[in-house]
């Protein structure tokens, strides 16, 4: 019974059901082989392709924990990919590791500036987060298109390719990047007081300030983190296809990231947050995408299929709904108000 | 204090955007003062925007061919919004241009403004995209590609390529965005041609949203869930290019192990075709400028023109791609 009450129970259950349905309806889903010295299979695809969404959802979790929201992450992804591809195109030797690393740092630095701008609008000027980040969401894609001149920029750089499409010790590099980011964030928020401070700012910025927490600094910091993570996600995205597509990069990913956070059990009102939940949410969304293709859901009904899975998960997570449907079985846990 | 400051900033932003908006208007109106010259033909063109490389090439073609034809071109970028295009068309009417041409952002909602143009006696030509109005007297002609025809050309190449062979040909299809006319029509045209021979089997067909990333992602999954893939048909070059990456990552050779057919013929696609990674590309040309100018001249001279004009388009094999590549504009 206690396992049913764990807040990650339902997301994990849905993930397991999705994977099982692949076992029944699609071929070779669980087959993982070694190909050209790296792991190859649908499960590896899930790990690799979850990486950008996991990174963006990670930043989004921190922002939402403070009671904010960041709509600009998709545009920031586009900017980082666009700048990286533009700079690599100008390199005399795009296959040298050093210059490419510098380019990567420059792209992330630009994203940090974007995050500072968001943080400044929200924490210093007091503009509502949804409005403040909407500005960069719209303008940022314009900036990205300006950088690429409205075209798709192609790059041929083997070190840059490694970020999104490469393997280290047979494991996808993008997965490793996301794993390191998650581990760092968990360590910083759960092993230090930072997590507590975040939750306190999300609970009440004023009370936190009166209690001696520099809530303004913390707010700016979470937007910078979200933008930096989005920047890395943008690099993975553009490296994966060796080009910068500023129209499509990160398009609507902000909504997927918010969905991932919510599926993971973090409330949009701020306060308590669950990093494990958000990561799980992001993996569920990616698995859902891959499942729709591998079991061959017709194109016209793909969105409906996804919506149904998400609705089932959200309903399952609602204690009130469970109490109503399962009657006596759930009443004991129905003390949570609707 | 903070709140007041934020209101001030928000107000300032609004003011700036309002001023910018006026600036845009001034630009369009300012250009109008010289409109309606005596013998020089003035063409008002309202473009969709600059959302893709294809569109940029389309704009360039129209600008260049207008200059060559000696027309005065009034060009307005609709930035993907219908209201901008409607505003632009009204401006063209007040400026009394000779001919209005535009590429409608959406299919519906044009009747009122086109009626105004008709009442003012200014002929209208649609380019690249159609409108759904039942009243065909609102425009003189519609020039653009026939997407069904493009799908058919792709199917015909496939039929010829596998002529005389009896083995089943397993095809996977990367569709464009669901509901978009190019996606629906390219799928329908292709299916129409290959259905005659039961050896052609579309084993999987999913959307790649016309983008490289989705093309790559969907192809990755196809490669794992479909044990045997002979042919990939992608509704545009970009999805095909993404799929090539997926095929290479799966240790297969694109163009040899899996034959690839795409539509569009943008430069990146043509490069891959010349390298043998794509086997066949059906052109969907944005370079309709010269044909458009020709139509404008005929409309102005009062000649009758057909209601539907097809863009001059061709298909490319790797050899033809090598030849065409050096002077490919987009």
Cβ neighbours, 10 Å, residue A106: 14
CA closest to A238 among chain B residues: B213
Q: What is the 3-state secondary structure (H, E, C) of chain A?
A: CHHHHCCCHHHHHHHHHHHHHHHHHCCCCCCCEEECCEEECHHHHHHHHHHHHHHHHHHHHHHHHCCCCCCCHHHHHHHHHHHHHHHHHHCCCCCCHHHHHHHHHHHHHHHHHHHHHHHHHHHHCCCCHHHHHHHHHHHHHHHHHHHHCCCCEECCCHHHHHHHHCEECCEEHHHHHHHHHHHHHHHHHHCCCHHHHHHHHHHCHHHHHHCCCCHHHHHHHHHHHHHHHHHHHHHHHHHHCCEECCCCCCCCHHHHHHHHHHHCCCCCCCCCCCHHHHHHHHHHHHHHHHHHHHCCCCHHHHHHHHHHHHHHHHHHHCHHHHHHHHCHHHHCCCCCCC
Q: Which of A226, A100, A247, A229 is nearest to A162 (CA)?
A: A100
Per residue in B121-162, pLDDT (tens digit) is: 999 999 988 888 888 899 999 999 999 999 999 999 999 999
Measured in degrees and rounded to the nearest 5, phi and psi for residue A46 equal -60, -45
Per residue in B205-247, pLDDT (tens digit) is: 999 988 999 999 999 999 999 989 999 999 999 999 999 999 9
Strand stretches in A95-194, DSSP E: 153-154, 167-168, 171-172
- The label of the residue with tokens 């401006």 reads B91
B250 touches chain A (CB under 8 A): yes
Statement: residue B34 has pLDDT above 60:
no
Beta-carbon separation of B56 and A151 below 8 A: yes
By residue count, chain A amounts to: 338
| Minimal Cβ distance to B178: which of A135, A240, A300 | A300
Supply the pLDDT for residue A328. Answer: 57
Supply the pLDDT for residue A332. Answer: 52
Supply the pLDDT for residue B79. Answer: 79
A21 to chain B: which residues are within 8 Å by CB?
A: none
Per residue in B85-123, pLDDT (tens digit) is: 999 999 999 999 999 999 988 888 999 999 999 999 999
Supply the pLDDT for residue B29. Answer: 38
Supply the pLDDT for residue A329. Answer: 55
Statement: residue A4 has pLDDT above 80:
no
The reply to whether B147-284 shares the fold of B38-145+286-313 is: yes
B196 touches chain A (CB under 8 A): no
A295 to chain B: which residues are within 8 Å by CB?
A: 225
Mean pLDDT of A85-108: 94
Name the least confident of A72-76, A260-264, B34-38, B274-278: B34-38
B222 touches chain A (CB under 8 A): yes
Task: Tally the C-alpha atoms within 13 A of residue B257's C-alpha that lie toward its C-beta.
Answer: 13
Name residues whose C-beta falls within 8 Å of residue B201's C-beta, 6 or more positions apart in sequence: B168, B169, B170, B171
Q: Under CATH, which architecture does the B38-145+286-313 domain have?
A: 3-Layer(aba) Sandwich (3.40)
B79 to chain A: which residues are within 8 Å by CB?
A: none
A305 to chain B: which residues are within 8 Å by CB?
A: none
A189: distance to nearest CA of chain B, Å?
29
pLDDT band at residue A247 under the 50/70/90 scheme: confident
- The label of the residue with tokens 């996804």 reads A306
Supply the pLDDT for residue B5. Answer: 52
Q: Which of A224, A279, A286 is nearest to A76 (CA)?
A: A224
Statement: residue B17 has pLDDT above 70:
no
- The label of the residue with tokens 């890395």 reads A232
Distance CA A152, CA B239 (A): 13
B225 to chain A: which residues are within 8 Å by CB?
A: 26-29, 42, 293-296
- Asked if residue A237 lies in contact with residue A250, where contact means CB atoms within 8 angstroms, the answer is yes
Per residue in A284-300, pLDDT (tens digit) is: 999 999 999 998 898 88
Supply the pLDDT for residue B9. Answer: 53
B180 touches chain A (CB under 8 A): no
Per residue in A9-47, pLDDT (tens digit) is: 889 999 999 999 998 888 888 888 888 888 999 999 999
Mean pLDDT of A106-121: 97
Helix then strand then coil, in percent of chain B rounded to 5, is 50, 20, 35
CA closest to A247 among chain B residues: B51
B7 touches chain A (CB under 8 A): no
Q: Which residues pair with A39 in a beta bridge?
A: A34
Percent of chain B with pLDDT over 70: 88
Beta-carbon separation of A293 and B227 below 8 A: no
Supply the pLDDT for residue A173. Answer: 96
Statement: residue A109 has pLDDT above 60:
yes
A109: distance to nearest CA of chain B, Å?
24
Statement: residue A112 has pLDDT above 50:
yes
Statement: residue A275 has pLDDT above 90:
yes
Measured in degrees and rounded to the nearest 5, phi and psi for residue B264 equal 130, -60
Supply the pLDDT for residue B8. Answer: 53
Mean pLDDT of B17-45: 53
Mean pLDDT of B302-317: 91
Distance CA B155, CA A46 (A): 33
Distance CA B290, CA B63 (A): 10
Distance CA A274, CA A77 (A): 23
Statement: residue B1 has pLDDT above 80:
no
A40 to chain B: which residues are within 8 Å by CB?
A: 250-251
pLDDT band at residue B181 under the 50/70/90 scheme: confident
B20 touches chain A (CB under 8 A): no
A294 to chain B: which residues are within 8 Å by CB?
A: 221, 224-225
Q: Which of B97, B149, B105, B150 is nearest to B127 (CA)?
A: B105
| Minimal Cβ distance to A293: which of B51, B56, B218 | B218
Statement: residue A331 has pLDDT above 60:
no
Measured in degrees and rounded to the nearest 5, phi and psi for residue B144 equal 175, 180
Q: Under CATH, which architecture does the A38-322 domain have?
A: Orthogonal Bundle (1.10)
B224 to chain A: which residues are within 8 Å by CB?
A: 27-29, 31, 41-42, 45, 294
CATH topology for the B147-284 domain: Rossmann fold (3.40.50)
Q: Which of A156, A150, A163, A59 is nearest to A107 (CA)?
A: A163
Domain locations along chain B: 38-145+286-313, 147-284
pLDDT band at residue B24 under the 50/70/90 scheme: very low
Cβ neighbours, 10 Å, residue A300: 10
B222: distance to nearest CA of chain A, Å?
7
Supply the pLDDT for residue A46. Answer: 94
Statement: residue A317 has pLDDT above 90:
no
CA closest to B174 among chain A residues: A299
Mean pLDDT of B64-70: 94
Beta-carbon separation of B212 and A293 below 8 A: no
Q: Which of A302, A280, A91 is nearest to B205 (CA)?
A: A302
Percent of chain B with pLDDT over 90: 66
Mean pLDDT of B175-180: 85
Statement: residue A333 has pLDDT above 60:
no
pLDDT band at residue B33 under the 50/70/90 scheme: very low
Chain A residues contacting B, CB < 8 Å? 26-29, 31, 35-36, 40-42, 45, 49, 124-127, 135, 145, 150-152, 154, 165, 237, 240-243, 245, 247-249, 289-290, 292-296, 299-300, 302
A321: distance to nearest CA of chain B, Å?
34
Q: Which of A140, A9, A154, A18 is nearest to A70 (CA)?
A: A140
CB pairs under 8 A between A and B: 105
Mean pLDDT of B2-6: 54
Stretch (H or E) spanning B268:
helix B267-274
């Amino acid at each position: 019974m206690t396992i049913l009450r764990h807040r990650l129970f339902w997301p994990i259950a849905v993930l397991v059901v999705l994977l099982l349905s692949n076992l029944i309806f699609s071929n070779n889903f669980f087959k993982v082989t070694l190909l050209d010295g790296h792991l190859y299979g649908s499960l590896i695809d899930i790990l690799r392709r979850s990486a950008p969404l996991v990174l963006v959802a990670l930043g989004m979790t921190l922002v939402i924990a403070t009671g904010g929201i960041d709509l600009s992450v998709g545009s920031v992804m586009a900017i980082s990919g666009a700048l990286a591809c533009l700079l690599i195109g100008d390199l005399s030797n795009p296959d040298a590791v050093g210059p490419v690393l510098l380019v990567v740092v420059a792209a992330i630095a630009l994203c940090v500036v974007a995050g500072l701008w968001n943080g400044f609008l929200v924490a210093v000027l007091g503009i509502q987060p949804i409005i403040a980040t909407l500005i960069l969401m719209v303008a940022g894609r314009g900036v990205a298109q300006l950088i690429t001149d409205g075209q798709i920029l192609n790059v041929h750089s083997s070190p840059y390719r490694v970020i999104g499409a490469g393997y280290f010790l047979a494991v996808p590099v993008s997965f490793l990047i996301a794993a390191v980011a998650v581990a760092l964030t968990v360590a910083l928020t759960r092993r230090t007081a930072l997590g507590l401070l975040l939750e306190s700012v999300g609970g009440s910025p004023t009370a936190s300030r009166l209690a001696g927490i520099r809530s303004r600094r913390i707010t700016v910091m979470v937007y910078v983190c979200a933008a930096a993570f989005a920047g890395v996600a943008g690099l993975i995205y553009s490296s994966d296809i060796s080009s910068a597509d500023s129209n499509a990069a990160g398009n609507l990913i902000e909504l997927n990231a918010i969905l991932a956070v919510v599926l993971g059990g973090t409330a949009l009102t701020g306060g308590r947050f669950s990093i494990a939940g958000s990561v799980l949410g992001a993996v569920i969304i990616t698995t859902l995408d891959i499942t729709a293709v591998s079991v061959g859901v017709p194109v016209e009904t793909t969105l409906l299929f996804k919506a149904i899975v998400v609705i089932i998960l959200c309903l399952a997570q609602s204690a009130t709904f469970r109490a109503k449907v399962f009657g006596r079985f759930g009443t004991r846990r129905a003390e949570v108000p609707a | 204090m903070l709140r007041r400051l934020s209101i001030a900033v928000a107000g300032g932003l609004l003011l700036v955007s309002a001023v910018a908006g006026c600036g845009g208007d001034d630009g369009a109106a300012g250009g109008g003062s010289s409109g309606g010259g005596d013998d020089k033909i003035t063409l008002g063109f309202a473009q969709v925007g600059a959302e893709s490389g294809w569109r940029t090439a389309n704009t360039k073609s129209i600008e260049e061919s207008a200059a060559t034809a000696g027309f005065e071109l009034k060009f307005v970028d609709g930035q993907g919004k219908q209201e901008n295009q409607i505003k632009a068309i009204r401006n063209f009417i007040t400026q009394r241009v000779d001919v209005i041409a535009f590429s409608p952002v959406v299919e519906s909602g044009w009747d009122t403004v086109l009626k105004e143009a008709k009442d003012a006696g200014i002929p209208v030509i649609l380019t690249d995209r159609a409108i759904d109005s039942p009243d065909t007297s609102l425009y003189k002609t519609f020039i653009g590609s026939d997407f069904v025809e493009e799908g058919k050309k792709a199917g015909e190449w496939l039929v010829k390529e596998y002529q005389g062979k009896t083995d089943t040909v397993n095809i996977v299809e990367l569709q464009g965005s669901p509901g978009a006319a190019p996606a629906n029509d390219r799928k329908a045209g292709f299916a129409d041609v290959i259905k005659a021979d039961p050896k052609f089997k579309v084993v999987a067909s999913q959307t790649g949203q016309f983008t490289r990333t989705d093309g790559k992602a969907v192809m990755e999954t196809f490669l794992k869930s479909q044990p045997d893939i002979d042919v990939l048909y992608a509704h545009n070059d970009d999805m095909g290019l993404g799929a090539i990456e997926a095929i290479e990552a799966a240790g297969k050779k694109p163009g040899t192990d899996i034959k690839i057919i795409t539509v569009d013929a943008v430069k990146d696609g043509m490069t891959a075709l010349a390298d043998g990674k794509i086997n066949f590309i059906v052109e969907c040309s944005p370079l309709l400028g010269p044909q458009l100018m020709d139509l404008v001249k005929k409309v102005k001279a009062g000649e009758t023109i057909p209601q539907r004009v097809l863009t001059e388009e061709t298909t490319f094999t790797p050899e033809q791609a090598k030849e065409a590549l050096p002077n490919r504009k987009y």
